Amino acid sequence: MTPSIVGKVVTVYDRYLFGVPVKGYITGVSSHDGAYKVSFFLDNPGGANVTRHNGKHFHEEQCRIKQDPITPGYVMGVDLADQEDLKKPVQKTTLPIDSAKRKNYPMCSGLLEYFPAACAGVSGISKDGNDKHNPGQPLHHSRGKSNDHSDCIIRHQIDLKEDFGKGVGRDEKGVPQVLYSAWRALAQAQEWLEEHDNAPLAPRAKL
């Protein structure tokens, strides 16, 4: 999928959500599976229903793209007179670009200073995992290896009550099981945000 389809008019076919074909325009493409993020026109059948699903991702087989440029009008109440902005690729950023909104994400005081030991431990899990799955390679997250996060989280929660020879709640190397659970939860959250919330691919992730 190329950024050139961003801003194209698209008809979405999803009987479960809408019952009838509905029209909108593409605002982004998922880096995970190529699904289209769609904003819907207000003049669709059952307009109130489409507004609830504005910004949802739909797979290519559910969509028919119209190659003509968007015609002026209103999409979800947004004036489309400035159509050229819609045709530009959607810029993916982890944090908002707006300076006021960025202040709502206190990465140091709200993350590192809340959970310093946990963050340090999770970084150790990343290194151990890289040494295991990618020996001799620079530190990176191989997304295709061991990605059953939900199952792993539950297993590590069960292991919190077990003793593998290094004390209750630790694995056979003495690493606290809670750190594995935390790493898996962060991995699951990152991948979900990339797929469903238009977050950019993590810098050290490899698909």
Please indicate, yes or no, if residue 95 is contained in any of the structural domains. Answer: no
Question: Same domain for 117 and 145?
Answer: yes
Question: Same domain for 60 and 111?
Answer: no
Question: Same domain for 52 and 115?
Answer: no
* Angle (CA) 150 195 119, round 5°: 55
Per-chain mean pLDDT for the chain: 83
Crossing angle of helices 177-196 and 116-133, in 10° steps, is 80
The answer for residues whose C-beta is within 8 angstroms of residue 130's C-beta and 6 or more apart is: 137, 139, 140, 141
Question: Same domain for 81 and 129?
Answer: no
Question: Same domain for 104 and 202?
Answer: yes
Question: Same domain for 60 and 110?
Answer: no
| pLDDT the model gives residue 188 | 96
Please indicate, yes or no, if residue 12 is contained in any of the structural domains. Answer: yes
| pLDDT the model gives residue 199 | 85
Question: Same domain for 135 and 61?
Answer: no
Question: Same domain for 144 and 61?
Answer: no
Question: Same domain for 120 and 200?
Answer: yes
Of 47, 62, 90, the one marking the end of a domain is: 90
Q: Give, for 156, the enclosing helix (H) or strand (E).
A: helix 149-159
Please indicate, yes or no, if residue 19 is contained in any of the structural domains. Answer: yes
Q: What is the pTM of this model?
A: 0.59
Question: Same domain for 123 and 80?
Answer: no
What range does the domain containing 144 cover?
A: 100-206
| pLDDT the model gives residue 130 | 95
Question: Same domain for 114 and 199?
Answer: yes
The number of distinct structural domains making up the chain is 2
Mean pLDDT in order along the chain per 10 residues (207 residues): 70 79 85 84 66 82 69 41 46 81 94 98 97 94 90 96 96 96 97 86 91
| pLDDT the model gives residue 81 | 44
| pLDDT the model gives residue 48 | 55
